[in-house]
Amino acid sequence: MQSRRSSSGADWGGDGERQRQRFPIKLMDFPQITIPSLVKSFRNRFFSFLIRGYYDTSFTLDGFLEAATQAAVYISTCISRGDFSKLKGLVVDEAIQEIQNNYADLNYQQRRWLQIIPSEIIGKFVYEIGMMFDDDTDKRFVEITIVLHCYHDLDKMEGGLSDLYTRLGENPEKFYVCNYRFIREFTKGVEDSWTINKLNHFLPFVQPDEQTQ
């Protein structure tokens, strides 16, 4: 899986004034994905046809993206509050442990930054669909990675989306990207549901040399 790598962090104000501090945030060891891939987009269409034909007749890319976005909003809220018990059954156990370990190193402002606000989502897309087959065990799995583009305090901008590009230049730390990878087993005779095995939040426009302590 190809991706663009960058440093991530958060910039928050304190006592009504912005404190020019950027804090690296990393919940999981997962490559950072910012933009769609044209090749993967065509492949995704083909794989969605296979999923609909062999596994789930009701599957659509748009339907999955909408449901996955709602799941990401809920899960990010649980993580930001440190409510890891609510992730059981929605996130695989290994991922919960890794997230919890990294969460312990975050301060209050970083944890607050993790929550995805639906009104702050300005773009979303399915980045990649992967279909995995194990001929020895006859197991079948599907993985789908989604990407969300968001902007903190979008509802407070007077010009709304029309003013976004200007604001991005002035406040690049407010633009954040979320990557969530879902997995589901489709082995014959197995009843399963979509769960998350990888996720991350990051700031693509904040460079390492801009970070201060």
Tens place of pLDDT per residue across the chain (213 aa): 433 333 344 444 443 334 434 455 789 999 999 999 999 999 999 999 999 999 999 999 999 999 999 999 999 999 999 999 999 999 999 999 999 999 999 988 889 989 999 999 999 999 999 999 988 889 999 999 999 999 988 877 766 666 777 777 677 788 899 999 999 999 999 999 999 999 999 988 876 444 333
Q: Are 184 and 193 in contact (CB under 8 A)?
A: yes
Alpha-carbon distances of 70 from 38, 42, 75, 181, 204, rounded to whole Å: 25, 25, 9, 14, 22
Largest CA distance in the chain: 60
SS3 for 51-120 is HHHHCCCCCCHHHHHHHHHHHHHHHHHHHHCCCHHHHECCECHHHHHHHHHHHCCCCHHHHHHCCCCHHH
CA distance 94 to 197: 8
Residues 163-173 as b or e (16 or more Cβ within 10 Å = b): eeeebeeebbb
Q: Which residue has the tokens 């402002």?
A: 109
CATH (residue range 38-202): 3.10.450
Q: What pTM, to 2 d.p., does this model score?
A: 0.85
Q: Are 145 and 180 in contact (CB under 8 A)?
A: yes
Two tokens, residue 123: 């773009």
Alpha-carbon distances of 123 from 17, 72, 146, 175, 177, rounded to whole Å: 29, 14, 11, 11, 10
What's the DSSP call for residue 57?
T
What three-state secondary structure class fits 199?
strand
